[in-house]
């Protein structure tokens, strides 16, 4: 019993002021009050315990929420990355679709044009011969000298026309041949290839090819070959064509810049090979040419896009290279700065 109530209880016991009945009545009240106090104390204690438990629960909930928030943040980042990957994949897909359809279109058109072009070439050639014969026959005729001269002159013009038709027809044929070559499926087989040796070979090939056409052509060649490169399984002729295209473009670019008459300019093409950290073989062809203007950067991989004068470019080199590299599961990228130069990078997966 509560100490104060106990004291009152004792005092009441000793007191003579109240009758026994009254004393008992007061004692009952005191007991009643004590019971109330005990219940209240118990309830208070219980409330305190509930409070403590609630605090613990709250803390746990907060911790859990925090964990969930972090998980959501991570998911968000992953989703963002997936979105970016998807966008890149989509862009790549659109590009390759465009390339594929252009390739098919090219092959179709080339086939259609090849036949009539053969007629043009053959008949113009025949006509040149016929005109010559005609000239001889006219010589034998007995007509006025003045008329003879006039007819000969006409025949001469006709011969020249036929020769022009034949010349340009042949040029058209060579373009058509290029188109067919472009869409032609590769016939080579994959074999373990030493990329450094291949790059070196095609660098020389490109250089001497240009020298043969233009005696004045000159440029410095530099190579940085990674000796640790593994042999790679691919079609050497195909990758060789890519290298030849890219290196020839680079030489052409530095030569153009050189011809524009800058002093202190040293035309230079650098070929680098390297094994990247994520197990890809990188081949870079760098030139210090004029660079590629922003306005045409998006177009250079399109078939037939060329800025070179007629007879010097078909516009098929980069488009063909792009297709070949893609068929090898690789990537072909360009990095260029106006007046500074251009780097074409081929990335090929090892295996
Ligand atoms: N290294 C380079 N420097 C500057 N421009 C380049 C380079 N390589 C390619 N180009 C540009 O890309 C165009 C397309 O190249 P390509 O497909 O090889 O066709 P082509 O060489 O027949 O013109 C070129 O006409 C040129 O404008
Ligand atoms: Mg080219």
| Ligand 1 atom at minimum distance from 289 CA | 3
Residue 255 main-chain phi, psi, to 5 deg: -65, -40
Q: Is the CB of 189 under 6 A from ligand 1?
A: no
Nearest to 304 by CA among 315, 318, 313: 315
pLDDT score for 312? 82
Place of tokens 């007819």: 151
340 part of a folded domain: yes
Would you say the C-alpha torsion 172, 178, 183, 188 has a positive or negative sign?
Answer: positive
Please identify, among 165, 183, 201, the residue that sits at the C-terminal boundary of a domain: 183
Rounded distance from Cα 338 to ligand 2 centre (Å)? 18
Under DSSP, the state recorded for 340 is T
Q: What is residue 346's three-state secondary structure?
A: strand
Give the C-alpha separation, 184 to 197, whole Å. Answer: 26
Nearest to 248 by CA among 204, 288, 280: 204
246 part of a folded domain: yes
Q: Is the CB of 175 under 6 A from ligand 1?
A: no
Q: Quick one: 247 and 320 in the same domain?
A: yes
Residues 6+ apart with CB under 8 A from 254: 219, 267, 268, 269, 287, 288, 289
Q: Is the CB of 169 under 6 A from ligand 1?
A: no
Give the C-alpha separation, 298 to 305, whole Å. Answer: 10
Q: Quick one: 340 and 192 in the same domain?
A: yes
Under DSSP, the state recorded for 289 is S
Rounded distance from Cα 249 to ligand 1 centre (Å)? 6
| Ligand 1 atom at minimum distance from 301 CA | 17
Please identify, among 152, 183, 214, the residue that sits at the C-terminal boundary of a domain: 183
Give the C-alpha separation, 174 to 113, whole Å. Answer: 12
Nearest to 287 by CA among 312, 320, 252: 252
Rounded distance from Cα 301 to ligand 2 centre (Å)? 10
Rounded distance from Cα 269 to ligand 2 centre (Å)? 15
**Atom 27 of ligand 1, nearest CA residue:** 307
> Residue 345 corresponds to which tokens in the numbers above?
């990078």
Nearest to 271 by CA among 292, 248, 255, 293: 248
Phi-psi domain of 329 (left: phi exceeds 0; alpha: psi -120 through 50; beta: other): left
173 part of a folded domain: yes
E strands present in the chain: 191-193, 220-224, 232-234, 268-275, 280-287, 331-337, 341-349
* Contact by Cβ (8 Å): 2, 34: yes
Low-confidence stretches of the chain (pLDDT beneath 70): 95-103, 182-187
**Atom 12 of ligand 1, nearest CA residue:** 300
> Residue 140 corresponds to which tokens in the numbers above?
């034998």
Q: Quick one: 191 and 326 in the same domain?
A: yes
Residue 123 sits in which domain range?
Answer: 109-183
Give the C-alpha separation, 150 to 128, whole Å. Answer: 18
Under DSSP, the state recorded for 192 is E
150 part of a folded domain: yes
Please identify, among 117, 149, 183, the residue that sits at the C-terminal boundary of a domain: 183
Q: Is the CB of 287 under 6 A from ligand 1?
A: yes
pLDDT score for 93? 75
CA atoms within 13 A on the CB side of 238: 25
> Residue 21 corresponds to which tokens in the numbers above?
């009945």
Q: Quick one: 240 and 161 in the same domain?
A: no
Q: Quick one: 193 and 308 in the same domain?
A: yes
- What Å distances lie between residue 151 and 80, 136, 139, 181, CA to CA? 80, 11, 10, 45
Total domain count for the chain? 2
Rounded distance from Cα 106 to ligand 2 centre (Å)? 17
| Ligand 1 atom at minimum distance from 313 CA | 22
Under DSSP, the state recorded for 57 is H
Rounded distance from Cα 204 to ligand 2 centre (Å)? 16
96 part of a folded domain: no
Rounded distance from Cα 165 to ligand 2 centre (Å)? 27
Give the predicted TM-score (pTM) of the model.
0.61
Q: Quick one: 136 and 276 in the same domain?
A: no
Give the C-alpha separation, 67 to 339, whole Å. Answer: 53
pLDDT score for 299? 92
290 part of a folded domain: yes
Q: What is the H or E stretch that residue 42 is in?
A: helix 20-140
Q: Quick one: 320 and 266 in the same domain?
A: yes
Q: Quick one: 210 and 129 in the same domain?
A: no
Q: Quick one: 252 and 312 in the same domain?
A: yes
Q: Quick one: 303 and 343 in the same domain?
A: yes
Q: Quick one: 153 and 115 in the same domain?
A: yes
Pick the ligand that lies closest to the CA of residue 299: 1
Pocket residue to mutate for ligand 1, from 247, 296, 297, 306, most atoms within 8 A of Cβ: 306
206 part of a folded domain: yes
Return the CATH number at 257.
Answer: 3.30.565.10
8 part of a folded domain: no
Q: Quick one: 178 and 192 in the same domain?
A: no
């Amino acid at each position: 019993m509560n100490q104060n109530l106990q004291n009152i209880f004792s005092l009441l016991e000793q007191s003579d002021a109240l009758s026994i009945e009254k004393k008992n009545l007061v004692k009952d009240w005191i007991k009643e009050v004590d019971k109330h106090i005990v219940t209240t104390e118990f309830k208070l204690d219980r409330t305190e315990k509930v409070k403590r438990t609630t605090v613990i629960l709250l803390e746990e909930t907060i911790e859990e929420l925090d964990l969930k928030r972090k998980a959501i943040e991570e998911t968000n980042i992953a989703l963002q990355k997936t979105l970016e990957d998807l966008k890149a994949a989509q862009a790549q897909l659109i590009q390759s679709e465009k390339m594929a359809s252009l390739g098919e279109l090219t092959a179709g058109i080339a086939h259609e044009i090849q036949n009539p072009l053969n007629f043009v070439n053959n008949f113009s050639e025949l006509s040149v011969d016929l005109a010559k014969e005609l000239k001889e026959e006219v010589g034998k005729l007995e007509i006025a000298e003045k008329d003879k001269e006039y007819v000969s002159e006409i025949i001469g013009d006709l011969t020249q026309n036929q020769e022009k038709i034949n010349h340009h027809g042949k040029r058209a044929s060579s373009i058509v041949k290029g188109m067919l070559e472009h869409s032609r499926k590769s016939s080579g087989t994959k074999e373990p290839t030493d990329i450094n040796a291949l790059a070196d070979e095609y660098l020389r090939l490109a250089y001497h090819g240009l020298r043969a056409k233009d005696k004045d052509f000159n440029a410095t060649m530099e190579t940085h070959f990674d000796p640790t490169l593994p042999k790679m399984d691919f079609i050497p002729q195909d990758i060789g064509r890519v290298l030849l295209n890219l290196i020839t473009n680079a030489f052409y670019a530095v030569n153009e810049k050189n011809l524009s008459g800058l002093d202190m300019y040293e035309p230079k093409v650098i070929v680098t090979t390297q094994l990247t950290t994520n197990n890809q073989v990188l081949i870079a062809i760098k030139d210090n040419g004029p660079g590629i203007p922003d306005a045409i950067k998006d177009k250079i991989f399109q078939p037939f896009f060329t800025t070179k004068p007629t007879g010097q470019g078909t516009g098929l080199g980069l488009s063909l290279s792009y297709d070949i590299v893609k068929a090898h599961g690789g990537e072909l990228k360009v990095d260029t700065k106006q007046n500074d130069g251009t780097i074409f990078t081929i990335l090929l997966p090892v295996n």
